[in-house]
A and B are shown apart, each in its own frame.
Chain A
């Protein structure tokens, strides 16, 4: 596809369960970002990948959150022992390189922890 693809679009899980959220960036984009957006607020930065490595993970709220990008393209955000407070829309964005002026966002995954 032409844009950033995120799957699933919606995920409902029980408190304490493990979830994985997937992001397919635009082909050729080396920079990839994860954000989290709670209802009524702006997106909040979580982690930034340049290629396969996490260049900045300062936004991850705690050690229950982890993200990988093993081949420098697809990324997976992993959340262990989910809590109700983790409920939010998780957005992924990609950019051609770190100095690019524009980041392209996917439509997000809406995570609901019940």
Chain B
């Protein structure tokens, strides 16, 4: 799986949008971009994933550049409960690979009142 690069930390004001960048310049054509987050003392939680089109769900939006070498996770209205470590992961979706995830260091997001 391709490697990802994320800033180690960022702060965000409560109620504002949080934009989390991720670089994945070596991504292959059959690799998806996944985002998980991990709140303190909990297991990681799936947020969203995409291949090349922008995606939106009830938690967040995912914007993938046209060349697919980078992406941005957007939390539209950050709350204090969004304070967590956010992981950007690139993986091939195949039965052989299963759901094996390669986590990097992630971005530690602190939402401030």
Contact = CB atoms under 8 A, between A and B. Distances in A.
Contacts of A100: 99
Interface residues of B, number: 23
Contact of B105 (A35, A41, A55): A41
A50 interface: yes
Contacts of B85: 42
Interface in B90-113: 93-106
Contacts of A95: 98-99
Contact of B49 (A33, A97, A98, A101): A101
A56 B87 contact: no
A42 B103 contact: yes
B43 A93 contact: yes
Contacts, number: 68
Given A43-B44, A105-B43, A31 B98 contact: yes
Interface residues on A, range: 20 to 34
Given A42-B105, A44-B103, A99-B93, A4 B98 contact: no
A91 interface: yes
Interface string B8-44: 0000000000000000000000000000000001111
Interface of A: 4, 31, 33, 35, 41-45, 48, 50, 55-56, 91, 93, 95, 97-108
28 contacts: A31-B98, A33-B98, A33-B100, A35-B103, A41-B105, A42-B105, A42-B106, A43-B103, A45-B102, A91-B43, A91-B44, A93-B99, A97-B95, A98-B94, A98-B97, A98-B99, A99-B93, A99-B95, A101-B46, A101-B49, A101-B93, A102-B46, A103-B99, A103-B101, A105-B44, A107-B41, A107-B42, A107-B43
Given A95-B98, A98-B95, A99-B95, 9 more contacts: A31-B99, A33-B100, A41-B105, A43-B103, A45-B101, A50-B98, A56-B97, A106-B43, A107-B41
